[in-house]
Amino acid sequence: AKAADELLQQATRLQDAGAQLLVLECIPTELAQQITATVNIPVIGIGAGIHCDGQVLVCYDMLGISKGKRPKFSKNFLTENNSVAAAMSAYVQAVKEHTFPADEHSFDS
């Protein structure tokens, strides 16, 4: 709880210092939702749940071509599509429809 409170305070301080947006990575969904509701600047998530103002995902992870262990928050969109362009379009659509990130791509408190 103390760490969550500190992150919320830091987000507010960054906004007050003139930040134009925040990127939250690997943050519990509920905390990301609270930060997004508190600040008046866009909040972009990567592994921060569905409630951020926007999402970002590394292209290599989105296409399933990263070497090594796949991050929990990533999804291979290429397996369900027949081209890189179709995979990227599917990602954009999933973000707009709030079907990505799903619970399995997010972190709990």
Separation of alpha carbons 60 and 77, rounded Å? 10
- CA within 13 Å, CB half, 79: 7
Q: Which of 6, 25, 80, 97 is labelled catalytic?
A: 25
Separation of alpha carbons 33 and 45, rounded Å? 10
Q: Can you say how many angstroms the Cα of residue 107 is from the centroid of all Cα atoms in its chain? A: 10
Separation of alpha carbons 13 and 64, rounded Å? 36
Establish whether 25 is a catalytic residue. Answer: yes
| Cross-strand partners of 28 | 107
Kindly list the catalytic residues: 25
